[in-house]
Structure 1
Amino acid sequence: MDATDVKVLSAGGLTPASFAFLLPELASRNGSLRAVVLTADDTLAEKFYRDLDFYRAFRPGAWEKTELLYLPGWEQSPYRNLQPGLSSRFERLHVSQRLALSTPEDNWVVVASLHSFLQAAASVDYLKETFFLKKGRALPPEEFVIKLQRFGYTASDSVEDPGTYSLRGGILDLFPPGLDNPVRAEFFEDEIESLRIFNPETQRSVRLLSDGDRLAVGPAREFPADLDSLAKGRERMKEWCDAHDIPRPARERISSLLSQGVLTPEMDYLLPFFQDKPSWISDLSCQQSVLALLEPEVIRETEATWAARQEELFESSVARHNPFPEPSLLHQGFAPAVEASCWQARLEVRELAFGEEVPRVRRLRLGAKKRAADMASLEKMIKGLRDEGTTSVIVANSQSQLDRILFILSEHKIRAVNVKSESDLPKDPSIVALAQGALSESFHLPERRLAFFSEDEIFGEKQHTKGRKRANPNAVVMEDLAIGDLVVHGEHGIGKYIGLSRMTALATENDFAILEYADGDKLYVPVYRLDSLSRYIAAPGASGNAQLEKLGSGTFAKTKEKVKSAIRDIAQDLLKVQAERTTQAGHAFNPPDDEYRSFEAEFPFDETVDQAKAIQDALDDMTIARPMDRLVCGDVGFGKTEVAIRAAFKAAQDGKQVAVLVPTTILAEQHYLSFSNRMANYPIRLASVSRFKSRKEQNAIVADVAAGKVDILIGTHRILSKDIKFKDLGL
């Protein structure tokens, strides 16, 4: 791919969100829309992708038949001894496959950070080995399995995770990257008789595909995983290690696994060893497409700094005898990638206005994103836009947030309606449109008489997190298992890990962890089922040498049943106590008002479903005239503090004092800061008592609590002392 002159276009005066709105007009060429948008880092890429995702729904006409794709990269440097994420690999493979198989008639927009775009990719030829499942296709199931093994799929007894497959007689289950659910192919002799999508948790079919439907089955690894290809890669790795003085013992573990056909996530970093020549995302995407750079000067500066850092990390990695190749093999150079002659054009987008004429954009600033805006400022801005004949659109991430905004606007005598797309926009500019989605910033398009407001700039920036399953802190990881380690199987109890074995089961080879139980009995656990194991953790003061369970004795099941029975007894006692409490009278707090709705909207994260339910349940308890006694349970980082903050704010609003009891001095200070930051915009006085406060400071706080001058008091057991007397404690 030669680097020659490419037509360079410039679009000035555009913020990322406004460029996202105008991208279909600015990046389309000859009636088609094929573009790659690069940002300086992953955070900017994710924000821009969310902007585009909102506009794709809001402006369906402009995005007709255009696919939006997000290209992730490794979540850390290959040289830091950290494994790449599987979900990122599968998503990256899906995008790569989509690009490799696209036709000139296909429209797509790919969003990527600089680093993910430059990262080495699967080769075009390998991606084009993708095959399609369709009813009536004739191919023996065993030949399908050979293809899946070359693509790096793992055999399993039940398919629950992407990149796995299972063959049982005439039924082939598989979970290709890019699909939300796995697919089940039923064969009659050598022909596919039916195709079904099934639920990986229940293993039950949810949809029967029609005769015309076909499913693409592409690689689950970025390099071929058949034994011949792995042998070539192993030999290239050996040659590279010899050239870089990597001692044999340091590479032996990876080399041994490759010789057995066993692949681990860290082997993604060995991709160049399995390719005859380097392959890059630009090879897949540049044909007849536009490359857009958001703030090109920032991107170039970021690339120079990042490339220098990778060289430093590589030198350190080689010194630690790691077999991962140099940055030039794992990442494409910036200039060859962006200046390749195959790009139809390069569009450089800057917030500073100069270059080619583009529709004029005015940035709307309500205040600092980290802090909520003054509602009076928003009201004034909306009314000013209305007087100019401009329709205002407020974009919020959830329907509950839109409901809050609707309530707040109605309190300010501003009419608003919910809309799904730009065709639903009210003709009357005095009516504000409310749309659901994520938008990173606010801006005004005067020529279109249209203004967009992001909830992040109204209520403060939220942290948009992907819904990932939280890892079990006691989960077993293959690389961390040592011979003799004790583990707990969910069904069979405590056993001892004694090794790894490769065996054939259900006509397919797989790796099994071997667990030893009492009397020398063995249990073979497939490595893809390690989630059924947990590390054995002895009780405080107990010996770490636990007695092994006896397989088939039922002892472990009986122990679990005894625990369940004890829990049921405790639950009965708790229900009795709760029934007695419901007969007592208590204080009923006022229902949430405009101020409370504004406060909750300022929460800088999107509430999870469970968190929102806990908050609402607590509010419901508080508005009923009986004492609240509610326990909120959740793991670290799941948002329990915000539940307490909402309840404390409601109590303080109604003139009641709140006591927050925490177990340690450090937590007292942390919670004091958390509460203070959340309530900084409101006339609520907080205080904390702990050993960090001098006696003089504590005496002053005690006096203010007694006088009712402190609304919320946070502290350790010190707040239970006899000298602390609340004037009107409500929570």
Structure 2
Amino acid sequence: MPDSRSPHPCIPTLPRLAEQLKQGTTQVTLGGLTGSAPALAIAEFSRLLPRQIVVIAADQTAADELTRELLFFNAANVSPFPTWDVNPFEAASPHPDISGARLDTLQRLLQGDPCTVVAPIAALLQRIIPRSILSGASCTIKPGDEPDRDTLLEQLVRMGYSNCPLVEERGSFAVRGGILDIFPPSLPRPVRIEFFGDTVETLRSFDPLNQRSLEPLPCLSLLPSRELVLSPASLQEFITRLKTRADQLDIPADRRRQLVAELQGASYPAGIEFLQPLFHTDLQPFFSYLQKPLLVLMEPDQLHQSALHHQTEVANGVQKAASEERLHPDPEQLYLAPDELFQLVDRHQQLSCRRLAIADGSGTTLFPIRSEDNTDLRISMARDQQHLLGPLVERLKQWQAADWRTLVVCHHPSQAERLQELLTPYGISCPLSATDPFSPALPTTDAGLLLTIGDLSRGFRLPDSKLAVIAEEELFGKRTRRKSGVTALRTKQILASLAELKPGDAMVHVDHGIGIYRGLQHLKTGAVEGDFLLLEYAGNDKLYLPIDRLGLVQRYAGGEGATPSPAKLGGPGWEKTRSKARKNIEELAAELLEVYAKRQASQGYSFSPPDEMFREFEATFPWEETPDQLSAIQDVLGDMQHSRPMDRLVCGDVGYGKTEVALRAAFKAVLDGKQVALLVPTTILASQHFETFCNRLKDYPVSIEMLSRFRTAKEQKESLERLKSGKLDIIIGTHRLLQKDVAFKDLGLLIVDEEQRFGVKDKERLKSYRASVDIMTLTATPIPRTLHLSMLGIRDLSIIDTPPVDRQAIKTVVARDTDDLIRDAITRELERDGQVFYVHNRVHSIGIVAERLRQLVPQARISVAHGQMEEKELEKVMLGFMHGQSDLLLTTTIIESGLDIPRANTMIVDRADTFGLSQLYQLRGRIGRSTVKSYAYLLIPGAGSITQDARERLKIIQDISELGAGFRIATHDLELRGAGDMLGPRQSGTVADIGFELYTQMLEEAIAGLKGEELEERCEPEINLAIAAFIPETYIPDTNQRLVLYKRLVQAESNEDVTEVVSEMHDRYGRPPLAAQTLARIMELRIRLKQLKVLKVDADAKRLCLSFHPRTNVSPETLINLIRTAPATYQFTPDHRLLVNLPPNSTNTDTLESLASTLTLLGA
């Protein structure tokens, strides 16, 4: 919409108001704006008044919404300045994203750039890093610069960056030869700086997912990674002030020494930011960074209330820090009092935004604007149950007749297309805007209706301007936005297990069995050197495996509890183990193929395509569908429209959206007049699904009932009669549904939740349904993609692996077990009307813990659950917690994987050091189900009394993110558990015997063999060329990164694959040295050797020797012609080897070229 040059601004009053502000009017009130209209007004101001504008909101939630709205309305240079996401003086640091956004905004303000800053009042109450410190700690790097590299690296450490082998997380950097990778928290992607000598040659952003470079950058503005900059001077000042303050607070001397030692070692303890006043006495108010700003006060009365609330939070933080004997400064040194803040506000020009157009009597100029929100439209739509869109259609036609401009804003193109489909039958055309309707460069939009894509959750109407803006959420209910990013992509990457390999891990050699990895060894044999994988077998036997043979080994993964013993090198044991495994795998393959054949031959009901009512139901889903969730829905609907009965497994953790997939399938079945049964393993899950289905389908004529022990015999009888007569559409129940007295009039769809948790008899009964009824199975345990691929075409599988919204926002704290911590954690959760899980995994002492908790938090209603309880009693306790009848559930690890309790957002795990990584990961996944902040407290007896392994596990789970290695480890462990569930105990034993990767390889071969498909025999050529071919440690110091690259080169199937790896090496580490280039050339030749099925190539100074597979792809005629044509060069020996005579004084390059030309002549 228009800028200052436009003859028809959206809000005609604004140019006059802007003129008054230019002339110096100090206080103006804009009254009457509702919905997102204030954001539109501020956006127009940002164009009419190109200066620093600071929009002050009551809290972070309001600030976030305003930021999204301002971006939608194209405000100039929107810069968020969020408040820290930790409580005052908490022993935790703000998230790097938060610090990055704050520092980026401060840098913009330092430069004097016009921008629109959005901040909650709490962010402005905090004193911040002095201008001079930030200015001195920042630097700009551009191509052609010649910075002193050692000085730059020292500066990065002082700026809070951590040195690591691989840059995946914000606030980290890595040095590799002439390349420096760095991830500033203020940037969306990390940056790769490539040096040529001492000169910066290029700057490129890169993808942390695959580490590949993206676009070149003209320059890099490097800001600190924390709001605390260490320097020798500031550290010395800190040590001096520390003694004084610690003496005042009686902080023990050993704790002071530990803190100083960590800082001197460039390590930043959690919560160090709250000690800023001990580093700098001259912390400044936010306003010290501003230059003649306009302050926009959103609902000033609310701002005053929020400031007072923040003052209380600061006082509570001081009290808590004191009770825990933690070092903290005087609060006045870090925070302004509310009165101090508003005195600073009064020194600047102010624009107050109020919903009500009333003068406040303080002498401000009032500009009333007539606007309306869309509440009346929402109410009308809610009342009209029969025609959800009826009131909207009527209103759209009225506005169209009155020449209004109407804009409907959808979050996603798929939702916009859905709305177009829904409105078409009413004769309403709503084109999707090809351009941004609020671009300042565009003239006023013509009268009419437009759809556009944007992040807007509330609209408004301006009658005087004949403008209506409607947000999708106002039509179909609130939609929760998922965080953008690469999370789903990361989990879809095939696990590069070698990236986490460490000495002592078990590995599987296809020919020699399970051995122990002892590291990557660099050996010299004569004049030739290379890298070898060292494996140790029983009796301390050692196997040195050349890196070109890496295709023969895999990291051992045998599932939970599997502890493999090393095989005897050269003994018969491994061959026996493999033969037994092959027999078991072939039995499974035969069973799978039998089920597959029956399905192919069966004829089921072919459901109709989705209609208008189905699309309307889809539109009311309160979340944004993720791509893999949409894919699963399309898979299911496609299966249902096929005449062959559906048998699909939908896999995804709780909150990932499986239930919605089931709901849409169920609704489609009901629309076609079919009945639906949802079978669950426990009464608790039955109750949970029943509530979900009832809430989601309440606006539609669908009858739903539950069959479980919580229903009386009379209620069950009535439900069964209605089911038999066809009066009941959807029945949800436990194994009770599988009993013989349950009869359907016309069952069309059976949904099974967690099938692996049913007994053998129940599974047999389920098999009888598979021939004629569409079946969809849901599971919350991840299934490995490799297993899915090996069973492709046998069982249909949809994987949903985009995490639920804000899953990564769970704040994880590892702490000593203290009464104060437990009391505070529980009390804080109860004060926000939440619930708490307390995990104590020892039944014999759970009663003692319950008594301790009752004394610590007497106001909490505590219930206890563990596996030794009677099943009915356990269900009663769990269901009571689910329905809010207790505040705290003290439980063992039996918390159900499917349990979804949105109000439970705090978890305390007792003796967390005794849990495995995947256990901790899955336990923590029980919280964080809603949009509020979640906390996981992992309690330990003391850092000195836990093992090094436990310390590492806790560090990983604390730091875990969608980009880190810890996420891959945890999900891999869980996937193995899922594989065990899917395959059954017998096959799980086979996996434990031979390792998961070899198991899936053999299963794939067995299925292909039974299908009659011709199996391509695997050929792993052995290459002994006496040429140095390896990746030097001086080039890539990290052993695991070298291993991953070796494995990728060995697995390459084309020259393009090899070129891709070499290109990546060049990109990430600089120009590959000669030994690495030679390795790449040999790997290209290896591909051709595999194509011809050459088993081995040996070389000495005089000749090459090629040994062929019995079923080689080289024809006898080709060999004969070769020998006849050049008998001086080629000879064939009686033991079927081809000798290639080399020219005298051949170099390494000559040897490789001779091998290449020979392979060409042989047909590769």
TM-score of the superposed pair, with normalisation by structure 1: 0.81
Question: Residue 196 of structure 1 is aligned with which of 204, 209, 214?
Answer: 204
Query: How big is each residue's C-alpha offset from its partner over 1:524-579, in whole Å with a ceiling of 9 and x where there is no partner?
Result: xxxxxxxxxxxx99957x9xxx78999xxxxxxx9xx9999999996896466435
Question: Residue 683 of structure 1 is aligned with which of 701, 708, 719?
Answer: 701
Report the counterpart of residue 70 of structure 1 in structure 2: 80
Contact 2:669 2:675 in 1 (8 A): yes
Q: Distance in 1 between matches of 2:224 and 2:42?
A: 31
Report the counterpart of residue 97 of structure 1 in structure 2: 107
Contact 1:96 1:122 in 2 (8 A): no
**Secondary structure of residue in 2 paired with 1:84:** coil
Quote the offset at 1:455 in angstroms. 0.6
Worse-superposed segment, 371-380 or 126-135: 371-380
Contact 1:250 1:322 in 2 (8 A): no
**Secondary structure of residue in 2 paired with 1:161:** coil
Residues 574 and 354 from structure 1, CA distance in 2 versus in 1: closer, same or farther, beyond 3 angstroms? farther
Contact 2:674 2:748 in 1 (8 A): yes
Query: How big is each residue's C-alpha offset from its partner over 1:348-388, in whole Å with a ceiling of 9 and x where there is no partner?
Result: 11111124224421222222699798311111221222222
Q: Distance in 2 between matches of 1:537 and 1:120?
A: 54
Question: Residue 113 of structure 1 is aligned with which of 114, 120, 123?
Answer: 120
Contact 2:406 2:450 in 1 (8 A): yes
Q: Distance in 2 between matches of 1:434 and 1:189?
A: 54
Matched, 1:490 2:470: no
Contact 2:96 2:225 in 1 (8 A): no
Question: Residue 25 of structure 1 is aligned with which of 44, 56, 64?
Answer: 44
Q: Which amino acid aligns with 1:337?
A: L
Q: Distance in 1 between matches of 2:698 and 2:153?
A: 61
Quote the offset at 1:98 in angstroms. 2.5
Kindly indicate which of the two structures has a greater share of residues assigned to helix: 2
Q: Distance in 1 between matches of 2:579 and 2:260?
A: 48
Report the counterpart of residue 466 of structure 2 in structure 1: 449
Question: Residue 127 of structure 1 is aligned with which of 127, 134, 147?
Answer: 134
Question: Residue 234 of structure 2 is aligned with which of 204, 207, 229?
Answer: 229
Report the counterpart of residue 95 of structure 2 in structure 1: 85
Q: Distance in 2 between matches of 1:462 and 1:572?
A: 46
**Secondary structure of residue in 1 paired with 2:655:** coil
Matched, 1:637 2:655: yes
Question: Residue 213 of structure 2 is aligned with which of 195, 205, 214?
Answer: 205
Contact 2:679 2:732 in 1 (8 A): yes
**Secondary structure of residue in 1 paired with 2:173:** strand
Report the counterpart of residue 523 of structure 1 in structure 2: none
Q: Distance in 1 between matches of 2:585 and 2:219?
A: 50
Contact 1:444 1:451 in 2 (8 A): yes
Worse-superposed segment, 34-43 or 460-469: 460-469
Q: How does 1:280-319 map to 2 (within 5 A)?
A: 280-284=285-289, 286-319=290-323
Report the counterpart of residue 432 of structure 1 in structure 2: 449
Worse-superposed segment, 87-96 or 457-466: 87-96
Q: Distance in 2 between matches of 1:564 and 1:50?
A: 57
Query: How big is each residue's C-alpha offset from its partner over 1:87-114, in whole Å with a ceiling of 9 and x where there is no partner?
Result: 22222222222222x22xx221122222
Question: Residue 179 of structure 1 is aligned with which of 184, 187, 191?
Answer: 187
Worse-superposed segment, 107-116 or 232-241: 232-241
Question: Residue 334 of structure 1 is aligned with which of 332, 338, 344?
Answer: 338
Q: Which amino acid aligns with 1:609?
A: P
Report the counterpart of residue 215 of structure 1 in structure 2: 220
Report the counterpart of residue 150 of structure 1 in structure 2: 158
Q: Distance in 2 between matches of 1:715 and 1:459?
A: 30
Report the counterpart of residue 723 of structure 2 in structure 1: 705
Matched, 1:651 2:669: yes
Query: How big is each residue's C-alpha offset from its partner over 1:630-661, in whole Å with a ceiling of 9 and x where there is no partner?
Result: 11111222111111111111111111111111
Residues 707 and 233 from structure 1, CA distance in 2 versus in 1: closer, same or farther, beyond 3 angstroms? farther
Report the counterpart of residue 279 of structure 2 in structure 1: 274
**Secondary structure of residue in 2 paired with 1:676:** helix
Report the counterpart of residue 51 of structure 1 in structure 2: 69
Report the counterpart of residue 59 of structure 1 in structure 2: none
Report the counterpart of residue 386 of structure 1 in structure 2: 400
Quote the offset at 1:146 in angstroms. 2.2
Contact 2:43 2:70 in 1 (8 A): no
Structure index of larger Rg: 2
Query: How big is each residue's C-alpha offset from its partner over 1:462-485, in whole Å with a ceiling of 9 and x where there is no partner?
Result: 1123246779xxxxxxxxxxxxxx
Report the counterpart of residue 396 of structure 1 in structure 2: 410
Q: Which amino acid aligns with 1:442?
A: G
TM-score of the superposed pair, with normalisation by structure 2: 0.52
Worse-superposed segment, 251-260 or 655-664: 251-260
Query: How big is each residue's C-alpha offset from its partner over 1:288-345, in whole Å with a ceiling of 9 and x where there is no partner?
Result: 2212121111221122123213312321221111223354334333343343269641
Quote the offset at 1:252 in angstroms. 5.2
Report the counterpart of residue 367 of structure 1 in structure 2: 378
Contact 2:181 2:191 in 1 (8 A): yes
**Secondary structure of residue in 2 paired with 1:52:** helix
Residues 113 and 426 from structure 1, CA distance in 2 versus in 1: closer, same or farther, beyond 3 angstroms? closer
Question: Residue 407 of structure 1 is aligned with which of 415, 421, 424?
Answer: 421
Q: Distance in 1 between matches of 2:90 and 2:226?
A: 21
Report the counterpart of residue 483 of structure 2 in structure 1: 466
Report the counterpart of residue 430 of structure 2 in structure 1: 416
Contact 2:92 2:270 in 1 (8 A): no
Q: How does 1:555-594 map to 2 (within 5 A)?
A: 574=592, 577-578=595-596, 580-594=598-612
Residues 198 and 251 from structure 1, CA distance in 2 versus in 1: closer, same or farther, beyond 3 angstroms? same
Q: Which amino acid aligns with 1:686?
A: I
Report the counterpart of residue 474 of structure 1 in structure 2: none
Contact 1:369 1:460 in 2 (8 A): no
Quote the offset at 1:259 in angstroms. 3.2
Quote the offset at 1:152 in angstroms. 1.3
Query: How big is each residue's C-alpha offset from its partner over 1:183-220, in whole Å with a ceiling of 9 and x where there is no partner?
Result: 222223322222222233333322234xxx22101111
Worse-superposed segment, 640-649 or 250-259: 250-259
Q: Which amino acid aligns with 1:150?
A: R
Query: How big is each residue's C-alpha offset from its partner over 1:221-275, in whole Å with a ceiling of 9 and x where there is no partner?
Result: 2111345433433443343222123334555543432232211443233233222
Question: Residue 38 of structure 1 is aligned with which of 44, 49, 56?
Answer: 56
Matched, 1:607 2:625: yes
State, as a whole percentage, how many aligned pairs show the same letter: 34
Residues 237 and 617 from structure 1, CA distance in 2 versus in 1: closer, same or farther, beyond 3 angstroms? farther
Q: Distance in 1 between matches of 2:627 and 2:383?
A: 23
Contact 1:15 1:351 in 2 (8 A): yes
Residues 132 and 665 from structure 1, CA distance in 2 versus in 1: closer, same or farther, beyond 3 angstroms? same
Quote the offset at 1:615 in angstroms. 1.3
Residues 623 and 116 from structure 1, CA distance in 2 versus in 1: closer, same or farther, beyond 3 angstroms? farther
Quote the offset at 1:70 in angstroms. 1.9
Quote the offset at 1:682 in angstroms. 0.7
Residues 490 and 158 from structure 1, CA distance in 2 versus in 1: closer, same or farther, beyond 3 angstroms? closer
Report the counterpart of residue 240 of structure 1 in structure 2: 245
Q: Distance in 1 between matches of 2:211 and 2:271?
A: 30
Q: Distance in 2 between matches of 1:342 and 1:128?
A: 27
Quote the offset at 1:80 in angstroms. 4.8
Q: Which has the higher contact order (CA 8 A, sep 6+)?
A: 1
Aligned residues: 650
Contact 1:173 1:185 in 2 (8 A): yes
Q: Distance in 2 between matches of 1:208 and 1:723?
A: 70
Residues 176 and 709 from structure 1, CA distance in 2 versus in 1: closer, same or farther, beyond 3 angstroms? same
5+ long unaligned stretches in structure 2: 1-23, 360-365, 489-497, 507-537, 541-556, 568-574, 750-1164
Q: Which amino acid aligns with 1:332?
A: L
Q: Which amino acid aligns with 1:266?
A: G
